[in-house]
Structure 1
Amino acid sequence: MSNFYLSDNLAHLQVLTLKQKIEKLSERGYAFGHQDSTAYGVGWRYDKESYSSDVFKVAGKFPLAYGFDIGQIEHNKDKNLDNVPFEDMRDLIKRANSDGGFITISWHADNPVSNGDSWETTNAVKHILKGGSHFEVYKNWIKNVANFLLSLKDEKGALIPIAFRPFHEMNGDWFWWGNPHCSTEDYKMLWLQTLNMLTGTFEVHNLLYVYSPNLVFTAKEYLLNYPGDNLVDILGLDLYQHGSVVDFKSILKTNVDVLKAVAKASSKPYALTEVGFDKVEDKNWWSSVLDETVAGKGLAWVLLWRNDSKKHFFIPYLDQLSASDFISYSKKTHVLFLGDVEN
């Protein structure tokens, strides 16, 4: 699968190293990931005095893949859309990288035309492309994104490599960059413009670029908005359980099979970039639903969404219904947590 071509032809060596590490993971199993895992959880938030995770509290180990979101960085705010201070996020990213984990970052950007949030779907994409009324607004947003990404350095001063996942779930209708709020061609232009601004204008060279639609059933659907093999490094897919176990397992299998086929054709690593079952209302969900469906499929990582509260969580907390099964799941040799692979 491995090739030395990256979307950013000036990418730093550590970016290629991260890509190769990700590819190696899929030969052993898949990395377990969690969004905002060390930033907060059910009943707690990071406070600089302690370092924890609901994953660690239940399973006794940390995830290998760490997800973060930089929504609100476009306005140069102090905190992201989930109230995580960017100063803390920077520290947590440095810690995760130092411990041997790897980082994936999404961006729930506000609507640049209406000033609403990501879910406010006033048409915006055509207005932020070059020549559009809000092009300069968007360029300034990318400058703020770049400044944050360029501040992510390890203890030796080297930039930390990041799997960057902008404008995800573009085939859904809930984000302003999604169908039907922009054409597929405008989406592709937005992707190219964003990559060119980051790499060319602002000299950000520590990113792998991740493309991740939501639910699909065919390769044609998956590739509808695809900007091209030369502009994407990793293929992802987001999928959540909303109905029955039987239906979800069937849909998940179909989606992973589509993802695998597309990835094999383009020689790229692939991952479930978001997945989960809100409140995990199935005591054996980890072993008999998730792992039973995705194990052995060649995925590089599987990232569960965030733990906001007892009303909205995707990883069990202590004594939660699925906690016992999660512990069993975490001991499977092909489910890779922090410490299960060499840094």
Structure 2
Amino acid sequence: YDLFQTWLDKVAVFLDSLRMEDGTRIPVIFRPWHEHTGSWFWWGRKLCSSQEYIALWKMTVDYMRNRELDNLILAYSPNYGGLDREVYMERYPGDDYVDLLGLDAYGDGQEFLDVLRNELSVVAQLGKEHHKPIALTECGMGGLGNPLWFTQTLLKASEGLPVTYALVWRNAPDYLMPMHIFAPYPGHASEQDFIAFYQDSRTLFLND
């Protein structure tokens, strides 16, 4: 426990350091203990109880609040697949401990699209009921093998739903993880599709 507190302290120090030139803290989407409906992290569904997970979440948030970090937007983000209302809310720590309802989803193809739209609809309804914005807190297709992924999968999955943002994952250096690509670069096969996604009237980017 004491060691864990030192880890939280390092996170808090870093978050507190994120400031504008005038000293104002920069808002940060803080997404602890993500994808908990899977079991690939130690806080996952099969590795700790719902009560333990909720206690961990609340302890983390309380720790940050006690450090007076008022710039954190708290994002709750289960993983895509097998989600209904009950599963999504099974480990929900309460409205006072969450600002944004998220969903992490990776994949492509019609079956993926159908499931994702259904689960995003569940999240959208919960967001409406709990007065929380919703987002695709992680998404993408590793390697971007489908050059039309942005318009034919991401855009279609979120069409008509109040998704506030979608975060595609990183592009790793080839020497670390070849083809670990989630966003196009100049000359990539999906470049033109991403430009079409950017120009679509339903999307907003920083300059908009």
Aligned to 1:205: 70
Q: Please tell me whether residue 214 in structure 1 is matched to residue 76 in structure 2.
A: no
Aligned to 2:124: 260
How many Å apart are 1:203 and its aligned residue?
2.4
How many Å apart are 1:286 and its aligned residue?
1.2
After TM superposition, where is structure 1 displaced by more than 3 Å over at least 4 residues in a row? Answer: none
Aligned to 1:317: 185
Structure-to-structure mapping, 1:75-114, within 5 angstroms: none
Paired positions, count: 203
Q: Looking at secondary structure, tell me which structure has more helix per residue.
A: 2
Structure 2 counterpart of 1:196, from 51, 54, 62: 62
What TM-score does the superposition give when structure 1 sets the normalisation length? Answer: 0.58
Aligned to 2:170: 306
Equivalent-residue separation in structure 2 for 1:143 and 1:217 (angstroms)? 33
SS in 2 for 1:300: strand
Equivalent-residue separation in structure 2 for 1:230 and 1:300 (angstroms)? 20
Q: Please tell me whether residue 236 in structure 1 is matched to residue 102 in structure 2.
A: yes
Deviation track 1:293-327 (CA, whole Å, cap 9, x = no partner) reads: 21220011011111114510111122222111111
Aligned to 2:52: 186
Equivalent-residue separation in structure 1 for 2:44 and 2:64 (angstroms)? 21
How many Å apart are 1:211 and its aligned residue?
0.4
CA contact (8 A) 1:217 1:254 kept: no
Percent identity of the aligned residues?
38
Higher relative contact order (CA 8 A, sep 6+): 1
Equivalent-residue separation in structure 2 for 1:293 and 1:179 (angstroms)? 26
Structural RMSD (CA): 1.2
Structure-to-structure mapping, 1:1-343, within 5 angstroms: 135-200=1-66, 202-215=67-80, 216-241=82-107, 245-309=109-173, 310-340=178-208
Deviation track 1:214-237 (CA, whole Å, cap 9, x = no partner) reads: 014311110111111111111101
Equivalent-residue separation in structure 2 for 1:290 and 1:197 (angstroms)? 35
Give the gaps of 5 or more residues in structure 2.
Answer: none
- The answer to which of 209-218 and 169-178 deviates more is 209-218
